Structure 1
Amino acid sequence: MTEETHPLSPQDCLVALMIAVSMSDENVRTSELVKIDSAVNMLPIFADFDTDHVRSLASLVADLFEQEDGLDALFGLIRDNLPERFFETAYALACDVAAADGTLREAELRLLEEIRYELDIDRLHAAAIERGARARHISL
């Protein structure tokens, strides 16, 4: 019996989702990149993550977005490689990236809705996560 290997680690999945949210409106903003970089450098879940891997994940997401069923393929990779206990973490990180520039665009909102559906995030939990992201990114 051979050991099955996965193309993405759980941390890769989290970063890929953050990148997908940033790319969703076809305009990657500096504030979103800073948010991704900050999460990867500061959060305990990324303690042993190789930050040099972010560039290859961005390339993977961009390649998937160019394909007709690329979003479905991305979600397939996420479902196959991200343990369920990290689903709410993934959604929280995605919300933080979407809120980073202070404006939620239609494409970002659609992708967040799709992430909620694909990861089966309870609507009440999603609302709490969204409210937390909004509170953290409010400006004067």
Structure 2
Amino acid sequence: MSETPSLTAQDALCAVMIAVSASDENIRTAELVKITNIINNLPVFADYDSDHVPRVSQTVFDLFDQEDGLDALFGLIRETLPERLNETAYALACDVAAADGEIAQSELRMLEEMRYELNIDRLHAAAIERGARARHMTL
């Protein structure tokens, strides 16, 4: 395989969202819509070229096909993403996971791995998760 392409900080945030969506091997429309809305509306993506998303997606998928790909993905994210955006990355991942109204076991495991890899304090993670749950409640 060719060398893994470098990412920008915004690409790394996209990679986190794509990774949690793809973790259950079923990327749902609601998750894709959530990712698109996040990219189009959040200030952290204000100057982001959404044409990068297919390349970032392919990078995530290629890494998922490798034996140690998840470790490589998190290495790439930690290398690229400023530490001050780790909680932002986790919040985006939680919003994508909650977007379709159900969180699969594989998505829960991915979120757990993200908490660990991004060094998210457990109390902060619980608050982020609670906020995502509250934003995605239905009647």
Q: Provide the rounded CA distance (Å) in 2 between the counterparts of 1:21 and 1:76.
A: 16
Partner of 1:111: 110
TM-score by length of 2: 0.96
Aligned amino acid, residue 112 of structure 2:
E
Q: Provide the rounded CA distance (Å) in 2 between the counterparts of 1:91 and 1:23.
A: 15
Structure 2 residue 111 is the aligned partner of structure 1 residue 92: no
What number of residue pairs does the alignment pair up? Answer: 135
Structure 2 residue 32 is the aligned partner of structure 1 residue 33: yes
Aligned amino acid, residue 30 of structure 1:
T
Partner of 1:72: 71
Cα offset, 1:45, TM superposition = 0.4
Partner of 1:7: 6
Q: Provide the rounded CA distance (Å) in 2 between the counterparts of 1:92 and 1:110.
A: 15
Quote the sequence identity (%): 70
Runs of 4+ in 1 over 3 A off after TM superposition: none
Tell me the C-alpha RMSD between the 2 structures. Answer: 0.8
Partner of 1:3: none
SS at match of 1:52: helix
Deviations 1:19-47 (A, max 9, x none): 00000000000000000000000000001
Aligned amino acid, residue 87 of structure 1:
N
